[in-house]
Amino acid sequence: MVTDDLPTPGAEPQRTRARRRPISPAEVVIVPANEAGWADLQTLFGSRGDPSRCWCQRFRMSPGESWANQGPDELEARLREQTACDQPSAPTTSGLVAYLGTEPVGWCAVAPRPDHHRMLRNNRVPWDGRNEDKFDSTVWAVTCFVTRAGYGRRGISHALAAAAVTFAQARGARAVEGYPDLVEGGYAGTRNTFLEAGFTEVHQPTKRKVVMRVDFAHPG
């Protein structure tokens, strides 16, 4: 929306103030990505910056693949297939989409850990110093957050992280992990984001990366 109203000199525009206020979890509606429209994902990932180059494929690319040699169009097509957007009856998807009213405001990637091919290699994160079965599909991973411009630092990632726990458990996970960056946070999320969603720090494979985890109790 474009407005010609001019703010009072020295005053912050009302629209800007509204955008910056904290958003309560009750205001955010979060759905599996297959229940969202592909156009909403395109809005979230935009046309500039890392999201529009990566399309949440960093941990899913095969050996020898990169942003440069695959290109954004190919990576975008992969995300569209993985999410099954516009297909509410699809049996699987690869993430969650957050809405504020009708506006898409955030994305969170959450899927079985073995779906992330690059992660299965000899990466220090999350494997270094751990005795884990890399191919255990009952352990899920939260690998990425994208918040739409104008909605950052307002609680969207926190709401998505909490929803990811519920989503993974409902899909049969026995545990879900996250790998925040202690220095930058960024697309991997912050430690606090995961702590507030009920994760516990279980390992620190590098100086700047920790493994956060929720284990679910299963009968028997």
| SS3 of the chain: helix, strand, coil, percent, to 5 | 35, 20, 45
Is 183 contained in some domain? yes
Is 16 contained in some domain? no
Is 10 contained in some domain? no
Collapsing DSSP states into helix, strand and coil, what is residue 112?
Answer: strand
Per-residue pLDDT of the chain (220 residues; tens, 9 = 90+): 222 333 334 444 344 444 578 888 789 999 999 999 999 999 999 988 999 999 999 999 988 999 999 999 999 999 999 999 999 999 999 999 999 999 999 999 999 999 999 998 868 899 999 999 999 999 999 999 999 988 988 899 999 999 999 999 999 999 999 999 998 878 999 999 999 999 999 999 999 999 999 999 865 4
Domains contained in the chain, number: 1
In a 10 Å sphere around its CB, with 0-12 CB exposed, 13-18 middle and 19+ buried, how is residue 43 labelled? Answer: middle
| pLDDT for residue 26 | 85
Is 14 contained in some domain? no
Q: What is the pTM of this model?
A: 0.88
Instruction: Copy the structure tokens of residue 180.
Output: 């925040």
List the CATH number of the domain containing 85. 3.40.630.30
* Longest Cα separation, the chain: 66
Is 29 contained in some domain? yes
CA distance 117 to 65: 11
Is 117 contained in some domain? yes
Task: Using alpha carbons, select from 77, 78, 55, 82 the residue that is nearest to residue 67.
Answer: 55
Please answer whether residues 104 and 148 qualify as being in contact, where contact means their C-beta atoms are separated by less than 8 angstroms: yes
| pLDDT for residue 186 | 84
Is 147 contained in some domain? yes
Instruction: Copy the structure tokens of residue 149.
Output: 């411009």
| pLDDT for residue 19 | 54
- Give the range of the structural domain holding residue 121, as residue numbers without chain letter: 24-215
Is 149 contained in some domain? yes
